[in-house]
């Protein structure tokens, strides 16, 4: 019988494999794609943000509940940074508190990690795609044909349902539901929102909107976002995407550092008869911010620069989302992330029903849950 099986070779799965191997288990990792960590490598293309260096309570609050609290307490920002350094990857903290490897890319960290896993005896098999259950076994479509594995313990780290081309396609959901596992429906998280633009906005596509505050319900976030032919996207939008997805409206404060009374006073000092565009430019708005006022502020006073309602046409499709909400519900697993309906099978990473913003939280959450599941799985005795 196979000792320990991990299905999925992303950050969560590889972390689970490392913990199992450190505990003395003989580990096989099966990955559907031709190489490991594809979404991890993609995330690192613009700078690998491994975590956020901030107080524990504030960091954990970003996950919207207490489910992951013990896992994040055991492997939070400090532990992530130490783990990177152990792999020979020095890190630094940016002005926003985001932590990056000095190399910035994901590939050096992944290469060092895979070398350590090889030293621990972890057997990684690529192009082994899980194809559901066969009796009590796990059926795979492997290079040599169909293979059925019967491990003593299994960790599932199959990702969510966004970026299917990189491996997270959610194909596992019906297989687990058939075995009695409660899986919450998928919803896009950290996602852009569609806008039905007027033709005059075309020339602003690709431009960033900086130095604004985004207000959604009771949430107010400082950040920037980009205009595209599809709508609005980028970090500022992702930070408020949960509230927008749940039905709250988006209101922009285009001059967050200037009190409303001061805006009124500045407008009053301007010459009568000046065009609205000139007045907005004199207030200090960028060309793209002026365009947004012209797009969404028609019929509103110019003081709407402090509270500009934006007409959105819903979130972009699930597969365009950076991450997802939904997945295996908290009630479906034990404290050690073992499936109640499938003893000996553990789950971690984006398969679980948790949600967090970008900025290092997602990757830390995957590592923390993978470590937690791997350690718990290592305690399962071999029959």
- Give the per-residue pLDDT at 380: 93
Tokens of 311: 């007409």
Structural domain range at position 268: 193-310
Q: Residue 177 is inside which H or E element, if any?
A: helix 173-178
Same domain flag for 245 and 344 = no
Whether residues 32 and 165 share a domain: the answer is yes
Whether residues 132 and 7 share a domain: the answer is yes
Both 284 and 331 in a single domain? no
pLDDT of residue 1: 74
One digit per residue, the tens of pLDDT, for the chain of length 383 reads: 799 999 999 999 999 999 999 999 999 999 999 999 999 998 878 789 999 999 999 999 999 889 999 999 999 999 999 999 999 999 999 988 999 999 999 999 999 999 999 999 999 999 999 999 999 999 999 999 999 999 999 999 999 998 888 889 999 999 999 999 999 999 999 999 999 999 999 999 999 999 999 999 999 999 999 999 999 999 999 999 999 999 999 999 999 999 999 999 999 999 888 999 999 999 999 999 999 999 999 999 999 999 999 999 999 999 999 999 999 999 999 999 999 999 999 999 999 999 999 989 999 999 999 999 999 999 998 76
Domain endpoint, select from 265, 282, 310: 310
CA-based torsion, 69, 70, 74, 80: positive or negative: negative
65 lies in the same domain as 155: yes
- Residue 46 forms part of a structural domain: yes
Whether 145 is covered by a domain: the verdict is yes
Q: Are residues 62 and 175 in the same domain?
A: yes
Kindly report the three-state secondary structure assignment for every residue of 96-129.
Answer: CCEEEECCCCCHHHHHHHHHHHHHCCCEEEECCE
**15 occurs within a structural domain:** yes
Judge whether 235 lies within some domain: yes
Last residue of a domain, one of 293, 310, 327: 310
Q: Is residue 280 part of a domain?
A: yes
Distance CA 212, CA 291 (A): 14
Residue 222 domain-assigned (yes or no):
yes
Distances (CA, A) of 300 to 269, 287, 289, 303, 306: 19, 19, 15, 8, 11
Say which DSSP state 338 is in: B
Q: Are residues 11 and 25 in the same domain?
A: yes
Instruction: Give the pLDDT score at 166.
Output: 87
Judge if 178 and 225 occupy the same domain: no
Classify residue 383: in a domain, yes or no.
no
Q: Do 155 and 257 fall within a single domain?
A: no
The domain that contains 103 carries what CATH number? 3.50.50.60
Contacts of 67 (CB under 8 A, 6+ apart): 330, 354
197 and 183 in a single domain? The answer is: no
Side-chain half-sphere exposure of 238, counting CA atoms within 13 A: 23
Number of domains the chain contains: 2
107 and 22 co-located in one domain: yes
The predicted structure's pLDDT at residue 383: 61
Domain termination site, one of 262, 291, 310: 310
Q: What local confidence, expressed as pLDDT, does residue 273 receive?
A: 84
Q: Are residues 241 and 203 in the same domain?
A: yes
Asked if residue 278 is part of any domain, the answer here is yes
Q: What are the CA-CA distances from residue 59 to residues 193, 220, 260 (Å)? A: 26, 17, 32
Question: What's the pLDDT at 205?
Answer: 97
Phi first, then psi: give them for residue 114, nearest 5 degrees. Answer: -65, -35
């Amino acid at each position: 019988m196979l000792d320990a099986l991990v299905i999925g070779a992303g950050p969560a799965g590889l972390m689970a494999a490392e913990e199992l191997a450190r505990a003395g288990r003989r580990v096989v990792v099966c990955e559907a794609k031709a190489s490991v960590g594809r979404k991890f490598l993609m995330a690192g293309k613009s700078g690998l943000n491994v975590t956020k260096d901030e107080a524990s309570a504030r960091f954990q609050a970003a996950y919207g509940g207490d489910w992951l609290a013990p896992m994040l307490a055991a492997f939070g920002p400090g532990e992530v940074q130490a783990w990177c350094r152990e792999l020979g990857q020095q890190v630094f903290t940016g002005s926003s508190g985001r932590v990056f490897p000095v190399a910035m890319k994901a590939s050096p960290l992944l290469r060092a990690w895979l070398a350590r896993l090889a030293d621990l005896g972890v057997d990684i098999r690529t192009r082994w795609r899980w194809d559901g259950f066969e009796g009590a076994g796990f059926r795979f479509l492997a290079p040599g044909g169909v293979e059925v594995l019967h491990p003593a313990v299994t960790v599932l780290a199959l990702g969510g349902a966004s970026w299917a081309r990189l491996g997270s396609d959610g194909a596992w959901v019906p297989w687990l539901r058939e075995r009695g596992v409660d899986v919450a429906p998928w919803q896009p998280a950290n996602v852009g929102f569609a806008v039905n633009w007027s033709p005059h906005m075309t020339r602003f596509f690709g431009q960033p909107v900086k130095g604004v505050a985004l207000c959604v319900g009771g949430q107010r976030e400082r950040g920037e976002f980009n205009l595209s032919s599809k709508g609005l996207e980028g970090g500022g939008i992702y930070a408020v995407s949960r509230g927008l997805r749940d039905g709250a409206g988006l209101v922009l404060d285009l001059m967050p550092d200037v009190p409303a009374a001061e805006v009124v006073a500045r407008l009053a000092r301007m010459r009568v008869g000046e065009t609205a565009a000139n007045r907005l430019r004199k207030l200090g708005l960028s060309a793209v911010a002026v365009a947004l006022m012209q797009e969404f502020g028609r019929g509103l006073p110019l003081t709407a620069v402090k509270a500009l309602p934006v007409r959105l046409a819903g979130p972009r499709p699930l597969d365009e989302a950076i991450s997802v909400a939904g997945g295996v519900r908290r009630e479906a697993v034990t404290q050690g992330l073992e499936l109640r309906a499938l003893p000996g099978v553990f789950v971690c990473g984006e398969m679980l029903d948790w949600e967090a913003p970008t900025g290092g939280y997602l990757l830390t959450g995957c590592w923390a849950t993978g470590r937690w599941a791997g350690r718990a799985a290592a305690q399962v005795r071999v029959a």
